[in-house]
A and B are shown apart, each in its own frame.
Chain A
């Protein structure tokens, strides 16, 4: 079935450094890739998304890249700050099953002061 794999499961970076989280998807027809951030005890919230007709999207310190050929996409956070500490989920929506959104297993990001 459709699958989204996310790596790493945990990531610790020094404040001010960059963090990269990677996801691969199995459904080549997937056309929408959102990223959600979940702070401790809170609900997931969308931070950035990308459509399959775009290779890269940036929003301040956050960027997402998409490689359709390799079927992987990545989240890049630059100049990390303590408030970036959270669990991050990637997801993919398949065109073949337009209403089903498959989430990755999550990455717990910790920012060291």
Chain B
């Protein structure tokens, strides 16, 4: 199984700041990396797929990058609604493993 190691586990930031979350795959996933946002009590929401492609309706302050085994999610100019948990997912092959998550909290 492909292991997804996400860091940091938690992150405190202020409105207007920029943050970066990273995800390391245990083997090359050829850009098949997916990011989700999850707010408390809600289902996950697709943000980015194919490592860099923004899902329709997602603000452009979200961006994804990376290749091979190393990937990042960057959020520019944090807005109050961005404070949530974020998960990466291996989209290459089953089992579709997720990272352990990053909780983004308001400083």
Whether chain B is bound by chain A comes out as no
Task: Please report B residues at the A interface, Cβ cutoff 8 Å.
Answer: none
